[in-house]
Structure 1
Amino acid sequence: MNSAVFDAKKLRKTVLDMAFNGSTVHIPCAFSLVEILAVLYRNHLNLASGPKDENRDFLILSKGHGVMAQYACLFELGWLTDSDVKKYFADGTRLKGLSDSHVEGLEVTSGSLGHGLSVGAGIALGCKLKKTNQQVYAIVGDGESNEGSIWEALLFAAHWKLDNLCVIIDANGFQAMGPTNEVMHLSDLGKKMEAFDFDTIVLDGHDEAALHAAFSELKSKKNGRPKAVVANTVKGKGVSFMEGNNVWHYTRLNPTTYQEALKELGF
């Protein structure tokens, strides 16, 4: 749907550049989102004439700490500049470490987890009432799904038959303080979403072809059931020393690890 390529390796490089320039954290939880966002921006999001167009589709990043992956996509669109990337987290920057609705292209202020999905469900209901064809995609984390407000929003979506809402769970198996299953075991997320009356597909969240097929299939089902994709992902995907290593949730790059990570990505 968009002319930008959204190459996964290039998106990860932009995340690394931002994290290194800003000496900031949350790299692995951005990396687990890259293919999901690439497919959505490339093939499925109708951005109309831009981020202020009332006819646009909506992408809600409820797990707002993964925002560097979305910034990388906005950079590909030309909505962010080289200066934004170079000055990330610097004094006077407009780009913060969590999703902020003051930045054009970001629909919600999130980072306080558990709230973005409710916003997305409300937007989806508004689109239903206005009888538009707009789609709402809401990305939540599996760790974020510990929040009770997530499950209230799912009940709301099913009650109002929001088949224009697609909830994507970035199931990377970790949250800030440890493995998700140790902090709060979630059991089978696919079965849970089905029990909440969602049309649900469980897949490899780094398989772009599978993601594209799933989003296409779910969008075609106008049956009064909201949609869900449980995307099994790897936290830190793309850089071997970050993959599945939760120490990197709050670890900053230094010149050596920055160059090592770039080399692994082929740069």
Structure 2
Amino acid sequence: MKTNFLRDKAHWVWRETLAVHLRAPETRIASSLSPIEIFVALYYDDVLRFDAINPLSPERDRCIISKGHGSICMYPILADLGFFPKDELEKVCMAGGILGGIPDPVIPGYETVNGSLGHGLGVSAGMALGLKTRRADQQVFVVCGDGELHEGACWEAIMFAAQHGLDNLNLIIDNNHIAMLGYTDDIVSHGCFSERLGSFGWSTYEVDGHNISDVCATLHSMKATRDGKPKVMIANTLKGHGVPGLENQPLSHIINPKPEVIDNLLESLM
């Protein structure tokens, strides 16, 4: 029954994300459709410890959304959980609203500024080291895009985390295979993420990022494992997931579906 609930919730978030984009077409829709199951697993399957009333509670696990532009799907999740009023969803990218095209910490539930890519993993490694030094049991989760991992700063953080045995650090790669202007393998190939990150001293897991059961099981396993190694889940996803003409298209990052396409999708699912 929990699996059915999570699948239904993921589909609801997918619809709500399309509706937000219809009202605010400056949002990055393709990037925000690939990690939906990741965020649903984190926030609805008791992976993260959080307090919607007190988002900066010291008891919280830290969730760093490094690919901020690709997390518009987080807006309905945070509103649904009570981080901010649901009527904010009607004001995305509008004067007087708190929800922008690129999220930042003015939004309850966001820890960091996420405009410039490549920094979230380094910040997360620093947080994890601080928590470990204090012998705190909170963990750090960071969601990055595969295109973002072209940035050299990410690999500095990967080496740093392994050297310092940050087994309270959990990296989630939204591996949708497409960067801003094409397929990542045609720009700078990562090769096999599992082999490469394993060679850097990380414990690696690989899943179908749209299979909510596998995503949840893997995240719980990662959180329970404290063996002196940082952990990474490579979630293989589709950019623009579920939208005809957008899904898995090499330029989907900068393409907006026509409003009538979104209208038809939403009407067909009512």
Name the TM-score, length of structure 1 as normaliser.
0.93
Alignment of 1:79-118 (within 5 A): 79-118=83-122
Residue 110 of structure 1 aligns with an amino acid whose one-letter code is N
* Cα contact 1:18–1:88 (8 A) shared by 2: yes
Partner of 2:147: 143
Q: 2:254 matched to 1:250?
A: yes
Query: Over residues 111-166 of structure 1, what are the superposed CA-to-partner deviations in whole Å (9 max), with x where a residue is unaligned?
Result: 21100111111111111111111011101111001000000001111111110110
Extract unaligned runs of 5+ from structure 2: none
Kindly report which structure 2 residues correspond to 1:151-230, keeping only aligned pairs within 5 A, or say none.
Answer: 151-230=155-234
Determine if contact 1:19/1:253 at 8 Å carries over to the other structure: no
Distance 1:225 1:29 in 2: 29
Q: Which residue of 2 aligns with 1:47?
A: 50
CA contact (8 A) 1:20 1:252 kept: no
SS at match of 1:237: coil
Equivalent-residue separation in structure 2 for 1:179 and 1:228 (angstroms): 22
Kindly indicate whether the alpha-carbon contact (under 8 Å) linking 1:25 and 1:249 is maintained by their aligned counterparts in 2. Answer: no
Quote how far apart the aligned CAs of 1:22 are: 1.5
Amino acid at match of 1:19: H
Contact 1:198 1:225 in 2 (8 A): yes
- Output the CA distance in 2 between the equivalents of 1:226 and 1:129: 15
Aligned pairs, how many? Answer: 264
Q: Post-superposition shift, 1:100? A: 0.4
After alignment, is 5-14 or 224-233 more displaced?
5-14
CA contact (8 A) 2:239 2:252 kept: no
Q: Give the 4+ runs in structure 1 shifted more than 6 A.
A: none
**1:38 maps to 2:31:** no
Is the CA contact 2:27–2:69 (under 8 Å) kept in the aligned structure 1? no
- Secondary structure of the corresponding residue to residue 109 of structure 1: coil
TM-score (norm 2): 0.92
Between the aligned residues of both structures, percent identity stands at 34
**How many Å separate the matches in 1 of 2:24 and 2:247?**
21
Determine the C-alpha separation between the residues in 1 that align with 2:216 and 2:17: 23
CA distance in 1, matches of 2:195, 2:251: 30
Which of 258, 264, 270 aligns to 1:260? It is 264
Report the CA distance between 1:102 and its aligned residue.
1.9
CA-to-partner distance for each residue in 1:67-115, whole Å, 9 max, x for gaps?
2022121022122333211110112321111120221100111121100
1:63 alignment partner in structure 2 = 67
Offset from partner CA, 1:31-72 (integer Å, 9 cap, x none): 100000100111200004631211101111111111202212
Unaligned runs of 5+ in 1: none
- Alignment partner of 2:64: what SS? strand
Q: Pick closer, same or farther for the CA change 1:251–1:92 going to 2, 3 Å.
A: farther
